[in-house]
Amino acid sequence: MISAPLRSGEIDRHLRRMRRTTWVFLMTVPAAAAVAFIVPAGNGIASPLAVTLVAAAAALWVGFTANRDAQARLDRIKRAFAATGDEEKLLRDHRWVNLAVLVRLEVMVIAAAVAIIWGASSPAGWGILALAAMMMGLSWPTADKTHILIQRAREQRGR
């Protein structure tokens, strides 16, 4: 199956969509910080130390496996492209991969807020929040990343 090449401006539209989505997720970081400042530290059903440890472990595991998960998803969409040659589907699937990464990183934001509000170590929660913000920033969609994805998918199709 041979598909038509991408229409003019399709990559720009793709990047605008992905950047809009990433921007929305990035805005949850200051929102979580505001919530952490506004909501008084409370007593949870678990000890503050347990809350901090569980939140930190969950955040770090989810955050640091996000890259491996994203790479596996990108490999799958490149294989799908190799079978179909549909570049529009490749870009659509790329947006879904980006969304999956952002949702995983959002778990870090939520875990950070939990650790700040109900945990024993507010600095640990703020550190997790800063790490989540940094990782979201690193996931910012760029034209170079998109062109590399398309190029590698085309190469895989040509094998």
Q: How far is CA 117 from the centre of its chain?
A: 23
The pLDDT score that the predictor gives to residue 75 is: 95
The pLDDT score that the predictor gives to residue 4 is: 55
Least confident of 16-25, 45-54, 148-157: 45-54
The pLDDT score that the predictor gives to residue 5 is: 66
Q: What is the pLDDT of residues 72-122, one digit of tens each?
A: 999 999 999 999 989 999 999 999 999 999 999 999 999 999 999 988 878
- C-alpha–C-alpha distance, residues 101 and 115, integer Å: 21
Task: Return the structure tokens found at 120.
Answer: 């024993």
Shortest CA distance to 91 belongs to which of 1, 5, 157? 5
Q: What is the pTM of this model?
A: 0.87
How large is the average pLDDT for residues 131-140? 95
What would you report as the CA-atom Rg of the chain, rounded to the nearest whole angstrom? Answer: 19
The pLDDT score that the predictor gives to residue 153 is: 93
pLDDT above 80: residue 44:
no
